Structure 1
Amino acid sequence: MTTAAAVSPSLLSVHLRLVGMAVLWGASWPMGRVLAQTMPPLAAAACRFLFAGAILMLWLAKTGRLAALRDWGAKRWAGMVLAASFGVFGYATFFMSGLQHVPAGKGALVITLNPVITLLLAAWIFHERLNKRIGLGMAMAAVGAAIVITKGEPWHVLDGRVGIGEVLLLGCVGCWVAYTLIGRKVMAGVDALTTTAVTAAIGALMLLVLTLVVDGTAGVAGVMAAPRHAWLCMAGIVVGSTALAYAWYFDGVKALGAGAAAGYITLVPVFGVVFAALGLGEVIDASLLVGGTMAIAGTALMNLGRR
């Protein structure tokens, strides 16, 4: 009884942080849409992670964890670079570029593919269990996401008639799945805050280099000339959706496993669609409603199957 009582509050706090992560990531879709429409996308992504990385590094220094980085070996640094390449550099590039072409609510629903692919690969690599209920949930989520992506005509997935925005968002899915699974290996012996801070800082430098190569100084000028409401969205993404949410997500991966933590991404599209409708006035059409309901129900069924 003593052990259970001691463990329970700790696990509850992990679950609550994962719910908070879902709220913040849901809000990141309409905020990201605003940034993609008002700033050069690569420069906006670089700016996001430069600010977030700086905040997280200061947090590390304040908590006395920054000095521990000096003891890391080449293998650990290589793992962090690999994680940053997918979870920060790749994901942010696809995220901002995709939101130039796709409404925020639709983009948020495409991400329901994350837990499907993550759980499949986690079962293969880490031997996390699957069963019939999980399999049915995966099928529902995949079909629902296909309905959203193809505007109610999922058979067009087979003939390649999918827009560039949807393809870019599928790149987000691939990068995030890789980030989640790599993070589980990289985090052995490293706390979530340190992992998030280091990968954010490394990814920010990668994004900055890409921005200067592709856009030059015009990209930086475009960010500086953005309107006030865009900078408010940037602040929300930096502090909430990046600094806090990333740390909470990795807390969940470490405490519950890759598949279980990714299951909370089920809630992201719900908050994303709601915030996009309320904040940007985006219309929820039939394909978005039907496909989104299937995708969310499918990922919820997957979570029930895990229990």
Structure 2
Amino acid sequence: MNLQNTFGPQAASHLRLIGMALLWGASWPSGRIVAQHMPPLAASGLRFVLAAVVLLVWLYAAGGMGGLRQWPPKRWLGMVAAAATGVFGYAACFLSGLQYLPASKAALVITLNPVLTLLLAAWIFRERINRTIALGMALAALGAVLVISHGDPAQLLAGGLGQGELLILGCVACWVSYTLLGRAILAGVDALSTTAVTATIGAVMLLAASLVAEGPQGMAQAFNAGLPAWGALLFLAWGSTALAYAWYFDGVKALGAGAASGYITLVPVIGVACSALWLGEQIDASMLAGGAMAIAGTVVMNWGRRTPRAVAAAAAAR
């Protein structure tokens, strides 16, 4: 059966984006497995070494290596800053947080990413936020607060955040910083080059930090972890990093960034489902209610961001 004849010319791209969401969602329970058996910095360093090898080969095959020689020092400094936030900071907080927090809960906390990104973009880049976007942001933020506080927001005012919650909120801060840095100083760089270079620089940072903070025994412990931990680590490196990014880039190229990013809304849902199925994690009422609100808020935000473009396109067509 011909997929394009049956489902249309862009069906393959849609299916790859669904695969991307599945891989990113499954990264949460996989990360939880790794975090229970390996030191977080050593494991993160190995993950990005393995991912960087694939990404650099992909970049070479795409003919992008030659362009790196033409980059000015300012762009390389931008890459170092992006690697420090989007790879080193995020990866370290990701596995460190999953030592203390269930994967399902952590996956829902990450729904704060687009809320904080839009708020800071409005402040720094003067992006406009319409009423629909503001409603979605409020809904997503309230849902995340319910998840973090176990359904009791007053806990947050009393300093009720645990170490795991703080570390996953660190993931949010790092990813938002990475996104805004990319917009400010990495304009004009293709996504594959950015990902390959930042993954490589971040891997070096993580390995150096592991050697300082965990010592040689940290890497030895990682190498001596069992097959389940190594299977999860290889999945994180080659599945949820290299392959998922390849499918995401294909979706952006074929369908546009807005349509492709809409599939990211599926990630926390898949993360919660995989964590419950694979790890037997319990999903309480506050997670269900807060998660539903956070995901609905993200959908409303995406819809609000597209609405002005649709209106403008319709006006131009008249």
TM-aligned CA deviation for residue 186 of structure 1: 4.2
Q: Does 1:111 align with 2:114?
A: no
TM-aligned CA deviation for residue 72 of structure 1: 0.9
TM-aligned CA deviation for residue 127 of structure 1: 4.1
> What is the percentage of aligned positions where both structures have the same residue?
62
CA gap of 1:219–1:22, structure 2 versus 1, over 3 A, is same
TM-aligned CA deviation for residue 123 of structure 1: 2.9
Q: Does 1:40 align with 2:39?
A: yes
Cα RMSD for the two superposed structures: 2.3
**In structure 1, C-alpha distance between the alignment counterparts of 2:38 and 2:73, rounded to whole Å:** 36
The answer to whether the 8 A contact 1:192-1:251 is kept is: no
CA gap of 1:178–1:261, structure 2 versus 1, over 3 A, is farther
TM-aligned CA deviation for residue 185 of structure 1: 3.7
State the TM-score, normalized to the length of structure 2.
0.87
Higher gyration radius (CA): 2
TM-aligned CA deviation for residue 184 of structure 1: 2.8
**In structure 1, C-alpha distance between the alignment counterparts of 2:106 and 2:182, rounded to whole Å:** 24
Aligned match of 1:4: none
CA gap of 1:104–1:165, structure 2 versus 1, over 3 A, is same
The answer to whether the 8 A contact 1:143-1:154 is kept is: no
Aligned match of 2:175: 176
**In structure 1, C-alpha distance between the alignment counterparts of 2:173 and 2:293, rounded to whole Å:** 21
Deviation string for 1:180-225 (max 9, x for gaps)? Answer: 1222344433221111000000000000000000111101111111
Q: Does 1:80 align with 2:112?
A: no
Q: Does 1:215 align with 2:214?
A: yes
> How many residues were matched structurally?
298
**In structure 2, C-alpha distance between the alignment counterparts of 1:246 and 1:127, rounded to whole Å:** 29
CA gap of 1:274–1:54, structure 2 versus 1, over 3 A, is same
**In structure 2, C-alpha distance between the alignment counterparts of 1:143 and 1:154, rounded to whole Å:** 9
Aligned match of 1:95: 94
The answer to whether the 8 A contact 1:260-1:303 is kept is: no
Deviation string for 1:279-300 (max 9, x for gaps)? Answer: 1111111111111111111111
Say which SS state the counterpart of residue 130 (structure 1) adopts: coil
**In structure 1, C-alpha distance between the alignment counterparts of 2:224 and 2:46, rounded to whole Å:** 13
Aligned match of 2:287: 288
Aligned match of 2:314: none
**In structure 2, C-alpha distance between the alignment counterparts of 1:252 and 1:76, rounded to whole Å:** 26
CA gap of 1:260–1:171, structure 2 versus 1, over 3 A, is farther
**In structure 1, C-alpha distance between the alignment counterparts of 2:54 and 2:301, rounded to whole Å:** 35
Aligned match of 2:312: none
**In structure 2, C-alpha distance between the alignment counterparts of 1:124 and 1:28, rounded to whole Å:** 32
CA gap of 1:181–1:22, structure 2 versus 1, over 3 A, is farther
CA gap of 1:128–1:21, structure 2 versus 1, over 3 A, is farther
Q: Letter of the 1:208 partner, please give it.
A: L
Show structure 1 runs of 5+ residues with no match: 1-7
Q: Letter of the 1:84 partner, please give it.
A: A
The answer to whether the 8 A contact 1:27-1:271 is kept is: yes
CA gap of 1:124–1:194, structure 2 versus 1, over 3 A, is same
Q: Letter of the 1:29 partner, please give it.
A: W
TM-aligned CA deviation for residue 54 of structure 1: 1.3
Deviation string for 1:74-126 (max 9, x for gaps)? Answer: 01101111110100000001000000000000000000100111122233334
Matches within 5 A, 1:51-66: 51-66=50-65
Q: Letter of the 2:198 partner, please give it.
A: T
TM-aligned CA deviation for residue 263 of structure 1: 5.2
Q: Does 1:200 align with 2:199?
A: yes
Aligned match of 1:140: 139
Q: Letter of the 1:83 partner, please give it.
A: A
Aligned match of 1:5: none
CA gap of 1:16–1:124, structure 2 versus 1, over 3 A, is farther
Q: Letter of the 1:95 partner, please give it.
A: F
Say which SS state the counterpart of residue 160 (structure 2) adopts: coil
Q: Bigger CA drift: 226-235 or 25-34? A: 226-235
**In structure 2, C-alpha distance between the alignment counterparts of 1:261 and 1:219, rounded to whole Å:** 38
The answer to whether the 8 A contact 1:112-1:265 is kept is: no
